[in-house]
């Protein structure tokens, strides 16, 4: 074989290797993804819509026995008690009043403590502690409370391989402790971020059973919202990605688990990327 023919053979053998090298360089440039795939993903957008959202919190929990819970003042004013420590009350019993608003027991229970009569209290201040001698489901509702405050909550539960879905007899804040005052009254009652779903006494449950608890608050009407999958963050502040790739800070409100309220930064009709900043590998 002469030298010219040998050179031609070498060139032919090197062409596939050169093509492979170009392909490898292109894959590195686009993170191993075809440019068309990246373009399609960037083009996927969702728009801000206006509608109703029912603030919702879903959690896994266990059935427990015995619940100490607090009854909160429903407005600012002077608290006048109608019960005393150790007294047995029934569902609907008036426990006291704040100005013209009566406070009633959601279930049959025993009064554990009452703050001093004629105390001026703010709204949502714990004034009475009750002990429910039944079963309950407890869970942290701090995110829901941070969004809607101590608004009246409703709940449903489903015991694993057991009863349900069943309405809670009440969804109430847990009382953590009470400090003693004069004449058997409490000077203060402390509550935690946890709430309890009071299980109806005719429900067949036992302590230790696993359950799903879903707690809801009053619907928020005509609010702007996005799918939660398009938003980075879930409480107060978050971020979205505009179609041009820029990141935008937004204010966040209530969520029902599927959509989340947008309180600032966007308006109805605005488009954003379907992929939020913190889930987009190209943003890093």
Q: What is the per-residue DSSP string for 128-172?
A: EEEEEEEEEEEEE-HHHHHHH-S---EEEEEETTSS-SEE-SEEE
Confidence bin at 190 (pLDDT 50/70/90): confident
pLDDT tens string 156-169: 999 999 998 999 99
Q: What share of the chain is helix, strand, coil (3-state, %, to 5)?
A: 20, 50, 30
For the chain, the domains span 56-216, 221-283
Q: What is the pLDDT of residue 278?
A: 73
Q: What is the percent of the chain where pLDDT is above 90? A: 68
The residues facing 132 across adjacent strands are 67
Q: What is the largest CA-CA distance in the chain?
A: 117
Both tokens of 54, joined, read: 């029912």
More confident residue, 38 or 216: 216
Residue 208's contacts (CB-CB under 8 Å, 6 or more residues apart) are 62, 63
Topology of domain 56-216 in CATH is OB fold (Dihydrolipoamide Acetyltransferase, E2P) (2.40.50)
Q: Global pTM? A: 0.75
Residue 219 backbone dihedrals phi, psi, to 5 degrees: -60, 145
Q: Exposure of 260 by Cβ count < 10 A (0-12 exposed, 13-18 middle, 19+ buried)?
A: buried
Instruction: Give the mean model confidence (pLDDT) for residues 68-75.
Output: 93
Q: What is the pLDDT of residue 3?
A: 45
Q: What is the pLDDT of residue 20?
A: 40
Q: What is the pLDDT of residue 25?
A: 40
Looking at the predicted structure, is the pLDDT value of residue 83 above 90? yes
Instruction: Show the 3-state SS of 50-79.
Output: EEEECCEEEEEEEEEEEEEEEEECCCCEEE
Both tokens of 52, joined, read: 């109703």
CA atoms within 13 A on the CB side of 73: 24
Confidence bin at 12 (pLDDT 50/70/90): very low
Q: What is the pLDDT of residue 49?
A: 95
C-alpha–C-alpha distance, residues 70 and 130, integer Å: 6
Question: Where do we find the tokens 């009652």?
Answer: 189
């Amino acid at each position: 074989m002469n030298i010219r023919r040998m050179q031609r053979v070498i060139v032919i053998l090197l062409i596939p290797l050169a093509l492979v090298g170009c392909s490898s360089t292109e894959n590195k440039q686009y993170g191993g993804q075809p440019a068309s795939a990246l373009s399609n993903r960037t083009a996927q957008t969702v728009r801000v819509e206006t509608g109703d959202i029912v603030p919702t919190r879903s959690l896994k929990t266990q059935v427990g026995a015995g619940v100490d819970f607090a009854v909160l003042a429903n407005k600012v004013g002077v608290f006048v008690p109608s019960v005393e420590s150790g007294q047995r009350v029934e569902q609907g019993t008036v426990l006291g009043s704040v100005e013209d608003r009566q406070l009633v027991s959601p279930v049959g229970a025993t009064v554990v403590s009452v703050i001093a009569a004629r105390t001026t209290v703010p709204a949502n201040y714990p004034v009475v502690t009750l002990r429910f001698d039944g079963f309950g489901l407890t869970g942290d509702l701090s995110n829901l409370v941070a969004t809607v405050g101590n608004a009246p909550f409703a709940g449903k539960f489903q015991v694993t391989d057991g009863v349900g879905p069943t309405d809670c007899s009440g969804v109430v804040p847990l009382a953590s402790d009470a400090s003693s005052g004069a004449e058997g009254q409490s000077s203060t009652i402390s509550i935690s971020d946890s709430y309890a779903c009071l299980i109806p006494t005719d429900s067949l449950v036992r302590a230790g059973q696993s359950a799903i608890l879903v707690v809801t608050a009053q619907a928020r009407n005509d609010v702007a919202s996005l799918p939660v999958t398009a938003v980075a963050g879930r409480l107060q502040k978050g971020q979205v990605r505009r179609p041009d790739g820029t990141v935008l800070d937004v204010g966040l409100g209530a969520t029902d688990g599927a959509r989340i309220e947008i309180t600032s930064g966007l308006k109805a009709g605005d488009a954003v990327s379907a992929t939020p900043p913190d889930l987009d590998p190209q943003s890093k």
